[in-house]
Amino acid sequence: MPADDTVGRDPRPAPRGAGLTGTPALAGVPGAGRGPGDGAEAAAGSLAVRGPLARIAVLAGLGRTPAPGRAPAPVRLPVRRPTFADQRTFLARLPGLALRGKAPGAPVRRPPAARGRGSGPRAPRPPRGGGIRRRFEQARRTWDRPLTAYYLILGSSLLITVLGLVMVYSASMIKALELSLPGAYFFRKQLFAAGIGTALLLIASRMPAKLHRAFSYPLLVGTVFLMALVQVPGIGQSVNGNQNWLSVGGPFQLQPSEFGKLALILWGADLLARKQDKRLLSQWKHLLVPLVPVAFMLLGLIMLGGDMGTAIILTAILFGLLWLAGAPTRLFGGVLGLAGVVGFVLIKTNENRLSRFSCVGAIDVGPNGECFQAVHGIYALASGGWFGSGLGASVEKWGQLPEPHTDFIFAVTGEELGLVGTLSVLALFAALGYAGIRVAGRTEDPFVRYAAGGVTTWITAQAVVNIGAVLGLLPIAGVPLPLFSYGGSALLPTMFAVGLLIAFARDDPAAKAALAMRQPVFSRKRAGVRWKTMRRRVKKRPSGER
């Protein structure tokens, strides 16, 4: 007796044009469609299967009559054109048939239906604040990359030097004309020093740490010799009341005390690193001797010439090295107190130095004009406004502001470039200081830590002292702005110190790995000649394909 072909059939008639779009009702075959004109039936069993999914049902063995006593529960699809998700759902519900990447019998989640027209899945709505958080995470990951310190040091130092050359030309033009010199006289000398400093920077950035340590002792001995030679009558030269200069030849002069800062940093870093390797820094004798006596010797030679500003920077470098070495609070406070007493005596016994302290925060030039420079520096900054009067349009540099291209070049920058220009300079120095601290904090080499910390202390302390004096917050110390002010003797050792930081940033293991992964566009491998070009690789097409 033939089997009844109406078992499990939906008593409701299918709508016109039903195929895939009709409401299927196939017992035992979830989601199978039934419609006219399909041309496919189930050959096995007594159940007729029609529709585009009939062949799949036949191959899966679902065209049989269900077991007696069990009524199949038909699963209906909505009256619409089935999508890829509908077909995937149907295949997943077929017994004995598993989809790729899904376990047999695992539920398949259907995407939510899109609102409005169209049947494609709707993308989930991003959480509130997700864009800001994503950008913040991207910025944080970018900031934490191994080469961040390397690029910060290189970029900020280059920008400071270039901007300094522009401002030196603008600020020194009137001064050169007053001295019956060409307008670009000071600029040419600074440009020449910047060229030599760039060569020193490249050399320092390629020198290994061992060579830097070996170079520290000859540098210290040579600097002490030159600083002592300055005090010899007839050899040393006095500039603005300070006898700290040597004549190199022609218009060029050399200030050995500027190289004393670099010598103290390299020699002190090597000394503390060797003592740390021997675990001697826990004893206060080894922590202070011979570092503090040598530093006091350099300070004495500097003070013989009357250069109080350079002595302050050298003292800051000494304290920075002691702090990096982990000096106890009592020892650190004792050395600081001793330096304070000596500085107070030196200031109290000199009328010129004492008058500089009285000009802190002054708004009047005073009865004898002792605060003339400090007050006109404030005038220059105040007249700049937000965006300045324009490059080269400064008024204070026309003889009213002393030393416009050296100690007070920041005031001319504020007058010509405004608050935006001064804040840009401050941001560049802040980036350079942060990068130096990052290099010193992430290294495992004690010499690199002490040297990087000493260089960072030197540059940041000197920038703070110079800018603070221009703003009227600190006494005028007579120190130039690093990499910015005019002066070859100050520019050369500073650029060499920046090269040190670049070398230390490159020697970081993570930075080395990041640099090693970067290969040029055209590179030839030793194992076989293989060239990497910029041509896009095109997938080969089979023969006959157009």
- What DSSP string describes 336-358? HHHHHHHHHHHHHT-HHHHHHHH
pLDDT digits (tens, 9 = 90+) for 498-546: 999 999 999 888 888 888 877 554 444 443 444 444 344 444 444 444 3
Give the tens place of pLDDT for each residue, 10-64.
444 444 444 443 344 444 444 444 444 444 343 434 444 445 555 555 444 444 4
User: Residues 166-190: what's their mean pLDDT?
Assistant: 94
**Residue recorded with tokens 């194992």:** 527
Q: Per residue in 358-396, pLDDT tens? A: 888 888 887 788 888 899 999 999 999 999 999 989 999
Residue 344 is predicted with a pLDDT of 84
190 CA to centre of own chain: 28
pLDDT at position 136: 82
Residue 108 pLDDT > 80, yes or no? Answer: no
Classify the C-alpha dihedral 529-535-536-542 as positive or negative.
negative
Q: How far apart are CA 241 and CA 234, in angstroms?
A: 15
Handedness of CA 149, 155, 161, 166 (dihedral sign): negative
Share of the chain above pLDDT 90, in %: 47
What average pLDDT is seen over the chain?
78
Q: Which residue has the higher pLDDT, 520 or 201?
A: 201
Q: Taking Cα atoms as reference points, which of 324, 328, 333 lies closest to residue 458?
A: 324
147 has which bridge partners?
none
Phi-psi map region of 286: left, alpha, beta (phi>0 left; psi -120 to 50 alpha)? alpha
pLDDT value at 226 more than 60: yes
Flag whether pLDDT at 121 surpasses 60.
Answer: no
- CA-CA distance, 197 to 349, in Å (whole number)? 38
3-class DSSP state for residue 1? Answer: coil
Q: In whole angstroms, give the CA distance from residue 190 to residue 179.
A: 17
Closest CA to 172 of 401, 357, 342, 389: 401
Sheet harboring 242-249: ordered strands across? 236-239, 242-249, 252-254
Share of the chain above pLDDT 70, in %: 71
The Cα–Cα gap between 310 and 242 comes to: 11
Q: How many CA atoms lie within 13 A of 544 on its CB side?
A: 0
Digit-coded pLDDT (tens) for 436-486 = 999 999 999 999 999 999 999 999 999 999 999 999 999 988 899 999 999
Q: For 143-183, give the DSSP string.
A: HTSTTHHHHHHHHHHHHHHHHHHHHHHHHHHHHHHHTT--T
Beta bridge partners of 236: 246
> Which helix (H) or strand (E) element contains residue 38?
none
pLDDT at site 370: 81
Helices then strands (H, E): number in the chain? 17, 3
pLDDT surpasses 90 at 237? no
Cβ burial, residue 34 (10 Å; 0-12/13-18/19+) = buried
What does the pLDDT look like over 291-306, one tens digit per residue? 999 999 999 999 888 8
Confidence of residue 106 (pLDDT cuts 50, 70, 90): low
Q: Which residue has the higher pLDDT, 76 or 247?
A: 247
Distance, in Å, from the CA atom of 347 to the CA atom of 394, rounded to the nearest integer, reads 34
- Give the model's pLDDT for residue 529: 40
The whole-angstrom separation of Cα 497 and Cα 8 is 88
pLDDT at residue 68 in the model: 56
Q: What is the token pair recorded at 245?
A: 């200069």
Q: What is the pLDDT of residue 1?
A: 44
Residue 125 is given by DSSP the state: P
Helix (H, G, I), strand (E, B) or coil at 539: coil
String of DSSP letters for 173-242: HHHHHHTT--TTHHHHHHHHHHHHHHHHHHHHHHS-HHHHHHHHHHHHHHHHHHHHHHTSTTTEEEETTE
Contact call for residues 467 and 428 (beta carbons, < 8 A): no
Give tens-digit pLDDT for 324-368.
998 888 887 887 888 888 888 888 887 877 888 888 888 888 778
- Pull the structure tokens for residue 466: 């110079």
Report d(CA 313, CA 418) in Å as an integer: 28
User: 35: Cβ–Cβ under 8 A, 6 or more apart, which residues?
Assistant: 14, 18, 19, 20, 22, 50, 51
* pLDDT value for 24: 41
CA-wise closest residue to 302 among 281, 322, 318:
318
Sign of the torsion formed by the C-alpha atoms of 187, 190, 195 and 201:
negative
Query: Both tokens of residue 154?
Result: 């290189």
